[in-house]
Structure 1
Amino acid sequence: MNESNSDTSSKIVLAKWTDRFFAWLIDFIIISSISTAIIFASLGSINYEFEEDSFWMENIQYIPTSVLFFVYWTILEYKTGQTIGKKIMNLKIVNIDGRKPNLKGIMISSFGKAFLLPIDVILGWFLTNEKRQRIFNKLGDTLIVKIKEINDISDVKYLKD
């Protein structure tokens, strides 16, 4: 017999833009550091003085770093719903119903963050809805929510199968 807590609610608490920004900043610092170390190890140095018409040289760090971000967000958010930054900020990515999102939705959301974040955020702010979604969150049917903290250990109930 399975008992349920009558106080349990089906409310979804949307994450604040500031919490989302700090989660992103934590992830950005981690992945940028890793990317810089990889490029440094691969090329022997990081030289930011490029020739004026060398498009590929100017983007030598942007492209692999964006790919690394995309892979990082896709894998962690699909497997656990959280990146390191989201875990620290107590956030999670979910689908519109508050359940685990599908891989396609995660990939769409991750693509926007990894490759088009400024456009994605700015358009998201101007075209935002009550769900605080970036454009690519809308396209992927995903939300960023605040995970409810257990404030009082006496509220925890243990049930057996």
Structure 2
Amino acid sequence: MDNSDAERPSKIILAKWTDRFIAWLIDFIIISSITTMLIFALFGISYYDIEEDIFWAESIHYIPTSIIFFLYWIILEYKTGQTIGKKILNLKITDTDGLNPSLKSIIISSFGKSFLLPIDVILGWILTNDRRQRIFNKLGDTIIVKIDESKNTQDIRFIKD
């Protein structure tokens, strides 16, 4: 997305870690439900009855689920800046200037939370900075902001044709 015509916001409200977690949890429940239904549809219930090879069953579920998460975050965050969870909590991903991030930045940020989230978050907390970034947010030069709800509709006038 081109940021050349966009104005840098005068105030950026960083999202709380708890709000970010709740947004992620909403997304996790949605995508996990979808991938579980897909796995059941493709492999049947016997897929989960394999007791002697649980590691294989968990691994085979982790890989496609992570890929679907990765694509989900890339598509929604690049197109709108928000996933379903972020939209519910009025959060948005931006670059560190508060503008729309590049596709490359979204890909980097999404990779961390799709494949390495525990490491990404823990290192982000340990090496935290004033922008509340996970490690892959920092690498992608992105932040998660709270959208000021009052600005969303305050200046809009609806006129009938």
Q: Which has the larger radius of gyration?
A: 1
Q: Which amino acid aligns with 2:44?
A: G
SS at match of 2:149: coil
Give the helix-richer structure, 1 or 2. Answer: 2
Alpha-carbon distance in 2 for matches of 1:31, 1:157: 34
TM-score in terms of structure 2 length = 0.85
Alpha-carbon distance in 2 for matches of 1:29, 1:66: 13
Q: Which amino acid aligns with 1:142?
A: T
TM-score in terms of structure 1 length = 0.85
* Unpaired segments ≥5 residues, structure 1: 1-8
CA pair 60-50 structure 1, distance change in 2 beyond 3 A: farther
SS at match of 2:60: coil
Contact kept in structure 2, 1:50 and 1:58, CA below 8 Å:
no
Q: Where does structure 1 differ by over 4 angstroms across 4 or more consecutive aligned residues?
A: none
Aligned residue pairs: how many? 148
CA pair 149-58 structure 1, distance change in 2 beyond 3 A: closer
Partner of 1:143: 143
How far off its partner does 1:34 sit?
0.2
Q: Which amino acid aligns with 1:80?
A: T
Q: Which amino acid aligns with 2:131?
A: K
Contact kept in structure 2, 1:74 and 1:107, CA below 8 Å:
yes
Contact kept in structure 1, 2:50 and 2:57, CA below 8 Å:
no
Partner of 1:4: none
CA RMSD of aligned residues (A): 1.9
Partner of 1:6: none
Partner of 1:110: 110
| Residues 18-75 of structure 1: per-residue CA shift (max 9 Å, x gap) | 00000000000000000000000000124154435x7543301100000000000000
Partner of 2:48: 47
For 1:24-103, list aligned pairs within 5 A: 24-45=24-45, 46-47=47-48, 49-52=50-53, 55-103=55-103
Q: Which amino acid aligns with 1:51?
A: E
Identical-residue share of aligned pairs (%) = 69
